[in-house]
Structure 1
Amino acid sequence: MRHFKHIAKEEILEMLSFVKDSPDEYINDEKLGPLASTFVTKVKAKSFKSYELLEEPSLYKIFGGKDIDGNAKRQMDLAMRLPITIQGALMPDAHTGYGLPVGGVLAADNAVIPYAVGVDIGCRMALSVFDLSEKYLQMNAYHLKKALGEFTHFGMDGGLAFAQEHEILDRNEFQNTDLLKKLHGKAVKQLGSSGGGNHFVEFGLLELCPDNILDLPEGKYLAILSHSGSRGLGAEIAKHYMKIAMDTCKLPKEAQHLAWLSLESAVGQEYWESMNLAGDYASACHDRIHYNLAKAIGEKPIARVENHHNFAWEEWQNDQKVIVHRKGATPASKGALGIIPGNMISPGFLVVGKGNSDSLNSASHGAGRRLSRGGARETFTMSSLKKQLSSAGVTLLGGTVEETPQAYKDIEKVMAAQHSLVDVHGKFFPKIVRMNKE
């Protein structure tokens, strides 16, 4: 303040008050400008690009269309109007989602859409098969229920009571971004646990067909089936990069959740690396779930099958490299193994893909919802659910009325609608089911 050393203290304070309250008026002042600039809010200019949608959606294949709600089809129509869209398909279990419909498959040109992958990145199915009979399950039902109670954990409040180890926790990617560094502790805590909603771990019977892909004798085997994803790690990655995509890729309001990240950009590569880490973490969670339960019953599996959904893959379609988003859809390239679950009383299916290019080598990821979770709560009661499960010989640990079997489509109809996409090699019948009790 050497310029004002001959001015009274009170006047200086008053002058400083004016500068603080109205810095823009003094920003060009030779003497007060530097001080005024410290009070001016500096807004960092955002770099973004605006895009228009195509006038009409590109054509895409719908499987089982008569049982798919109109909102899901309209969501898919919107996705097919994106300038980066190459090809799309709608699976027979499709229903309304957020961004891309659940059951939607979308191939994009060198870009990834965080909302077309989803919040639960790398959500997947895993099946372990044991050389144990139906009689074993009947005689050891109490022991199996106890194992599910003690060696699985559901919900958002943390993880298992005992420490879990897996090489995923040592991956270098956890040091590559500030976000992943911050999430490492959560990944450690939640390893081997499951989320809420329709996630489950269950003991049941796998009935294999003759000449099945597992090369096991025809018959019934005790099996563990699990459905879960990348927990808090995936959710935080999704939210972080979804916001960046919507801030930098401006689309008309109705399509803003389909904003994408170019894979030629640094942030696009960041998301891609983080997404793949989350997918591997989801697989690691299933590894621990199955290991802990197998150890609890003192057995080792004789076969294992697993597959992702809610993910994006770099694939070749019609001699073009594309990014295929499967939002609740099972990879079904020729010879690929997968599991398509039904509901708590209907069977799931062990399948082998046929490699149908019309579906972008995809199939359904389940039966698909007929009623929303809110609709199920308004329509059914826990009492009616328990009676239905009891009559079907199924034991439920936890769970909510939102997952009542009637809230889902008929899995047999769904499978009939995709006979050109997969071959069935076995059926899994749930017997002891554990889910989150919200």
Structure 2
Amino acid sequence: MRQFSITIAGGGSTFTPGIIMMLLDHQEEFPIRRLCLYDNDRERQAVIGQACGILLKERAPQMEFSYTVDPEEAFTGTDFVMAHIRVGKYAMREKDEKIPLKYGVVGQETCGPGGIAYGMRSIGGILEILDYMEQYSPNAWMLNYSNPAAIVAEATRRLRPGSRIINICDMPLGIMVRMAKILGISEKDLDISYFGLNHFGWWTQVKDKDGNDLMPRLKEYVRENGYDINIETDQHADQSWHETFLKVRDVYAVDPDTLPNTYLKYYLYPDYVVEHTDPHHTRANQVMEGREKEVFSAARDIIEKGSAKGCGFMADDHASYIVDLARALAFNTKEKMLLIVPNEGAIENFDPEAMVEIPCIVGKDGYEKISQGRIPQFQKGMMEQQVSVEKLVVEAWMEGSYQKLWQALTLSRTVPSAAVAKKILDDLIEANREYWPELH
């Protein structure tokens, strides 16, 4: 069986060990010859890189492993680039969340003003990696799940239309794991129909492999419990995620014909979200105090002991999704997967140029979209507003336009007025001087 060369862009991320653990778990179906970590933060990557090097030496000594800050070394001869970069790291995420909250507006990583700020930082980073790939490995695929995926996907559609990039998100898969747990079956046995934008979508159909309709059972559960269910290996088990999964009850009530993505709470209940958020201690602080400390502590422990036996690294949901996607492209498995792709009529009554999240069949030549037909007016209206936000952000980045970024913030459902949007924007500009293009 053919062996593959993988580059993980964002090698110093807390998610990198989980991806490597998942790759190790799937060596028989997806064998790897070479694995390279790439990051522009040398010190941060060195900790993760050293620990993963010890782990791989023990569990996969045949695999060639390296970590580097040199693009030529990282991207030459690679087959797949798995990209999960965070420009500005958690320090900037904290600002993304806390600045809007000063004005009584949702402060969240990918939704509203915080997502817009993060998107303005992410665009340049992803384009830079795509350009390295074009130079050093033009036949490689980028499997991108860097956030905010909707803005990044729109930017790559506009600015690198010929690039071999597939944009994905693990959140729908995480929800489907919960659906399967509710139903008492494996998520691999779910056959779904879904439409929307990234972090902004709805399931219209959930069946099992025999074609039995599972929606009535799921709706009965969600009406009372949302997606809240105990999953032993759940990596989002802290209190804020528990509350998010419970809040799905109220999101579902707005349209009980479909099942919603959890992120819709930020758009449908922004006042509730602000009321239940501590403006001085946000999700970024929870992550820095939780996963960030845990992963780096585990990595340093491995380095100190010189062994990864009994280490705290765990494979995770989004890592399994990325491996499934790579396998589908490598071995033409024709697996059905949710991807973020140009609409081009897949949703009949929606902007053909929008980057939508829909099921696709994935094989060696890329993906084939599965038509989702016409969508209801409620979802169509919400999506038209949100896709306009995303397009305006990308245009603002391309043109250095203050006006268009102000329009994007004003158009977000999370922001109450143009006056508030302007105040938030001016604060975000000050905080992001090191990262955003200059606006005029």
Higher relative contact order (CA 8 A, sep 6+): 1
Question: TM-score, length-normalised on structure 1?
Answer: 0.29
Greater C-alpha radius of gyration: 1
Question: TM-score, length-normalised on structure 2?
Answer: 0.29
Structure number with the higher strand fraction is 1
